[in-house]
Chains A and B, each alone.
Chain A
């Protein structure tokens, strides 16, 4: 049977991808950002999972205002890097896992989560920057990916509680998949940032570090955190953090923190990164 072995969360700032693609990762500005991922890169290289269920949001790349799915699951064989206005990132095509993806789609829908099934989708920096941070520059990604795209652009995004519950449903789906697979669930986006208006540049270290603490110590408090608190405390784009709760929900009641990194700034954003593993009851 398939099993969930770990959860990873990370910010997915587009400038991080640009820094890597343009050979700036050793510059004084960027070196500390990339160094924060050295531990996780070594950790994942030692025993890479077969599949990553990668929770991210599309930034008006695959989805315009014509169709806005709250939760979408990528069931395609492969996903091409999107052209976000300056040409696609020079990164490998992302290989999907259609068998597992369809299984998760069927299982979660019958579990009363109304997923949108996507058979063609380009993936933007929300998905490819976390891949670059964890696997560096490579000719082929070492894992297959099941993308879960969450709407956090059009208000309202799903609630934190709903995200957490979807994570639990994804875990039930993975655990009922008959193939022998190691699966990680990644939550991406955040941490505090605001990209618009006179309040642009907002960063809230206190909120971010409390959020990181509570992933282990009090996830139920995070489930109940209303949207307005994210918007006020973590910035209008900090609401992406609800996606981390899908990852957290998939890991079960109790987790152990293996690694944490926090750094300000990457462009407009506070970079947060955490690695968690489920603790057997």
Chain B
């Protein structure tokens, strides 16, 4: 079995563990509601009012309003659920993923065309490899 501390040892990576799933339950379930066109329309019309219908923390709501996906993941969001938010915004997975890296959309797209991010030095915090 994987040592739980290993899951926290990967640089720039958040594994969707049981603890995070519990913390993010309502945030992720809110995201699921955006799979219905009528809910997307209501959310777009008044994001804050729509979010207030859900038992989410203020930090979770702020992360959604700011489209700060790193913050949303820190609050228990899972990227496949959060995808419903940027799909509602008409944004692609590449645009959304790029926002989490500190790169511009153009820099990120170019990095992918050049072969992606190298795993060298990005495998383990503890072992620095």
Contacts and interface: CB of A to CB of B under 8 A. Distances in A.
B78 A199 contact: no
B2 A156 contact: yes
Interface in B29-76: 29, 31-32, 34-37, 40, 69-70, 73
Nearest to A205: B115
A107 interface: no
Contacts of B35: 61, 82-85
Contacts of B106: none
Nearest to A232: B123
Contact of B13 (A65, A84, A87, A231): A231
Given A153-B80, A195-B79, A233-B123, A267 B6 contact: no
A270 interface: yes
A64 B79 contact: no
- Sorting the interface of chain A by its residue count into under 10, 10 to 19, 20 to 34 or 35 or more gives 35 or more
A10 to B, nearest CB: 17
Interface in A227-246: 227-228, 231-233, 235-237
Interface of B: 2-3, 6-7, 10-18, 21, 25, 28-29, 31-32, 34-37, 40, 69-70, 73, 78-81, 83-85, 87-88, 90, 92-94, 97-98, 100-102, 108, 111-113, 115-119, 122-124
Interface of A: 14-15, 18, 59-61, 64-66, 82-87, 153-156, 192, 194-205, 207, 226-228, 231-233, 235-237, 264-265, 267-268, 270
Given A15-B92, A84-B83, A268-B94, 7 more contacts: A64-B29, A83-B37, A87-B37, A197-B12, A197-B73, A207-B119, A270-B116
